[in-house]
Structure 1
Amino acid sequence: MRILSSIAGGFAGACAVTLLNELVKRYDKEAPRIDLLGQEVVAEAHEAFDSEVPPQNQLYKEALSADLLSNTIYFSIAGANDKQPEVQGGMQGILAGLSAVYAPGLSNALNAKHTGETDKKKILTTAYYFIGGVVAGKVMHWINDLLDEQNEGGNKLLKKLNADI
């Protein structure tokens, strides 16, 4: 596992999930609202720490930041599979999507309607995270290939220099 490619890939996957959510919600009133679920989680965290829940625009920014950070860390784990990070990322994405769909219903504090109210929301939520996981794995694979080429080129140069000496 390479730390640089894992973090970069994890961030790319997190951005993919967030962008999908932000784009689709603008064009489809029945789209899942991962952003609202995230805001509920952040509001609950503020209340748990006896902190005042910030105004809506600040809450949105905090939730967006928390989502990007937590999804980056989560998708970075796909880098543990050096040979097929896309497969690992996709599988992790499916698990994250299913968690986003079904975990709120198990909690009294979160509103399950944001991601699990309809079959369409369930499928789209899971698809967002699946795509994010595959994007994470693809970026990891791409960076690893670039690093391998760079290292291979450096090794060839050293061999040539040693042969000339």
Structure 2
Amino acid sequence: MKRLASSIIGGIAGTVALNILHQAVKKFDHDAPRVDLVGEEAMTKGLEKAGIAAPTGDKLFMITMAADLISNAAYYSMIGTGKRKQLPYIGAITGLVAGVGALTLTKPVGLNDEPVTRTVKTKILTVAWYTFGGLVAGSVIKVLRK
């Protein structure tokens, strides 16, 4: 499969895996990261800064989820620039960087970091889940390039 197509499909696969994990576990684990809440806050602040009234409730959630899927898919798609044999490793490292970024960049950009830093377990899960998404993306890209 062509490099660009496999990269995009892999990026989407990693993003979908990440978001399914986030949405499923938050329903039964109080310590689960709530990146969705950080995203909703970012979306609200961004829209308000642009002079646009931010939606609320389910509409805010859906818009935020769409933006999250697009941005994470684009980010994970960059894994495809690596060599085929190394793609899962590049994916894991790319995801690790995203997870650490979620922990360390939230507060400096003016967002509440509590949903991802609430407990040590929350912090570990945040990094682990982004790493998982990257690993899925890298693995899918590798398989598609056979």
TM-score when normalising by structure 2: 0.95
Larger Rg, first or second structure (1 or 2): 1
Residues 85-124 of structure 1, C-alpha deviations (whole Å, 9 max, x = no match): 111111010000011111112233x111010121111100
**Relative contact order, higher structure (CA 8 A, sep 6+):** 2
TM-score when normalising by structure 1: 0.84
CA distance in 2, matches of 1:133, 1:87: 9
* Partner of residue 55, structure 2: 54
**Do the aligned partners of 1:85 and 1:137 also contact (CA within 8 Å) in 2?**
yes
Gaps of 5+ in 1: 146-165
Residue identity (%): 37
**Do the aligned partners of 2:31 and 2:118 also contact (CA within 8 Å) in 1?**
no
Q: Choose from 81, 90, 93 the match for 1:91.
A: 93
Q: Which amino acid aligns with 1:13?
A: G
Gaps of 5+ in 2: none
Root-mean-square deviation (Å): 1.0
Runs of 4+ in 1 over 6 A off after TM superposition: none
* Partner of residue 9, structure 2: 8
CA distance in 2, matches of 1:57, 1:106: 27
* Partner of residue 107, structure 1: 109
Number of equivalent positions: 144
